[in-house]
Amino acid sequence: MVKVAVVEGDGIGREVVPVARDILAAVRPDIEFFDVEVGYGRWERTGSACGEETIADLRSADAILFGAVTTPPDPGYRSVLLQIRHALDLYANVRPIRGEGVDVVIVRENTEGLYSGIEWTEPDRACTVRVVSRRGSERIARYACPLAKSRRHLTVGNKANVLKSDCLFVEVCTAEAARAGVSCRTSYIDALCLDLLMHPDRYDVIVTTNIFGDILSDAAAYLVGGLGMLPSANIGERHALFEPVHGSAPDIAGKNVANPVAAIQSAAMLLEHLGDPASAAVVEEAVDRVLRAGIRTPDLGGVAGTREFGAAVLREVGRGK
Ligand code: NAI
Ligand code: MG
C-alpha cells in the first residue's frame, strides 16, 4: 500500500487536485489517499495555517499531492508552502518546461536564498535576509549536475555581479559541474529571463537560487501555453511533494475553467518518484492525446471545463493501460 497525502488547499486547488487524484487512483488502485487541511481557513479558525500535526501527517506519507494555497500579503501570516518546504527539507524544486521546441528543466534551490524565512519588520523598514550557504548550494548542485549530465548541459542563473551571496552559489555550482564532468556556463538572471523566452533551444538544465527560480519558471510558462501547463516536484532526502507551479488563481476559481494539466503532470511526476515510470508515461501520453484531439480549457483557447478535460484524460488513461 502506498500512502499519498492530498492537500487541495483553496481556490483552483480544489478543482484541479480532485482531477489529478482521480487519474492517480485509476492508474494505481493500490494508492491510499488521505486529506490534509492547510491554509487561510485553518488560520482563521485555529490561529495556525499549518500546525505541528499537519506536518506530522505529511511526514507519514510516501508522497504529497498539493494544490495551491492563497497567501495574503500580511506580515503576520507565514506562507504554508514555505513552512512545509522548510519542515520537510524539500530542497530541490524541479520544474520541467516541455512543449514544441522547448525542453528545459529549472532546478530551483528551495529552502534558503531570499525565502530563508529570516525577516523582521521595524517601524520604518522591513528586512529579509538572503542566505546562501555552501551546504545548501552543494546539495542543489549535486541534484542538478547528474540531471544535466544525463541530458545536455547546465546553466547557473545568478546575479553574482551584484550579490556577494551569488558569488558563493556560482563558485559551488561550477566546481560541482567540473567535478561531475558537466558542460556548464553561468548567466545573469535578468538577461537569462529574456534569452530563455527568445531562444529556449539554448537551454537544458538551469540551476538557480530560490526567488530567481520562482520568477524564471512563471516567465518560462509563456513558452508552453501559460501557468496551467507547468508541473513541479519538491524533493528532499526523505519526503517529496508534487504541485502545479501556479497558485490559487482567485480570479478564475469556482468556475470550472482552470486548466488541470499542471496538476495532472505533477501527479505523473509523483508516479515517477514512486518508482513507476510506466504509469507516469501512461498519464503523460493520455494528456498529450487529449490536447492533440483539440480538447482544451479556455486558457489554451478551448471550451472544455476542468472536469470535462479531466474526464477525457481518464478515458485515455483507460485506453493506454
Ligand atoms: P496564480 O498562479 O494563482 O495566477 C496567475 C494568473 O494565471 C491568473 O490570472 C490565473 O487565472 C492564471 N492561472 C493560474 N493557474 C491557472 C490554471 N491552472 N488555468 C488557467 N489559468 C491559470 O498567481 P497569483 O494570482 O499571483 O496568486 C494567487 C494566490 O495564489 C496568491 O495568494 C498567492 O500567494 C498564491 N500562490 C500560491 C502558490 C502555491 O500554493 N503553490 C504559488 C503561487 C501563488
Ligand atoms: Mg511562484
pLDDT at 236: 98
pLDDT at 76: 77
Q: Has residue 206 got a pLDDT over 90?
A: yes
Q: What is the largest CA-CA distance in the chain?
A: 62
Higher-confidence position of 80 and 286: 286
Q: Which of 218, 276, 288, 299 is catalytic?
A: 218
- Is 288 catalytic? The answer is no
In angstroms, rounded to a whole number, what is the distance separating the alpha carbons of residues 226 and 238? 31
Residue located via cell numbers 508541473: 231
Q: Whose CA is nearest to atom 1 of ligand 1?
A: 247
Dump pLDDT digits (tens) for 94-114: 999 999 999 999 999 999 999
Dump pLDDT digits (tens) for 195-205: 999 999 999 99
Q: Of 271, 270, 226, 273, give the one whose Cα is nearest residue 247.
A: 226
- Is 57 catalytic? The answer is no
**Cα of 1 vs its chain's centroid, Å:** 25
ipTM confidence: 0.98
Which residue among 227, 264, 299, 309 is best mutated to probe the pocket of ligand 1, counting the most ligand atoms within 8 A of its Cβ?
Answer: 227
pLDDT at 132: 98
The response to whether residue 258 sits with its C-beta less than 6 Å from ligand 1 reads yes
Q: Whose CA is nearest to atom 44 of ligand 1?
A: 247
**Of 21-30, 38-47, 170-179, 233-242, which range is least confident?**
38-47
| Span from the CA of 316 to the centroid of ligand 2 (angstroms) | 30
- Is 222 catalytic? The answer is no
pLDDT band at 79 (very low <50, low <70, confident <90, very high): confident
Dump pLDDT digits (tens) for 110-156: 999 999 989 999 999 999 999 999 999 999 999 999 999 999 999 99
Residue 292 grid coordinates = 492533440
- Is 218 catalytic? The answer is yes
User: Above pLDDT 70, what percent of the chain?
Assistant: 100
User: Above pLDDT 90, what percent of the chain?
Assistant: 89
| Span from the CA of 178 to the centroid of ligand 1 (angstroms) | 38
| Span from the CA of 18 to the centroid of ligand 2 (angstroms) | 21
Q: Has residue 309 got a pLDDT over 80?
A: yes
Kindly give the number of the ligand 1 atom that is closest to the alpha carbon of 12. 18
The response to whether residue 249 sits with its C-beta less than 6 Å from ligand 1 reads yes
- Is 214 catalytic? The answer is yes
110-132 residues labelled b (16+ CB within 10 A) or e (exposed): bbbbbbbeeeeeeeeeeeeebbb
Q: Whose CA is nearest to atom 32 of ligand 1?
A: 70
Specify the domain boundaries for CATH 3.40.718.10 within the chain. Answer: 1-90+236-321, 96-223
| Span from the CA of 14 to the centroid of ligand 1 (angstroms) | 13
Task: Kindly indicate whether the domain formed by 1-90+236-321 is annotated with CATH number 3.40.1350.10.
Answer: no
Q: Which of 40, 57, 91, 115 is catalytic?
A: 115
Residue 23 grid coordinates = 487519474
pLDDT at 46: 84
Which residue among 50, 66, 248 is best mutated to probe the pocket of ligand 1, counting the most ligand atoms within 8 A of its Cβ?
Answer: 248
pLDDT band at 51 (very low <50, low <70, confident <90, very high): confident
pLDDT at 130: 98
At residue 222, the 3 state secondary structure works out as helix
Mean pLDDT value of segment 3-28: 97
Task: Kindly indicate whether the domain formed by 96-223 is annotated with CATH number 3.40.50.880.
Answer: no
pLDDT at 39: 82
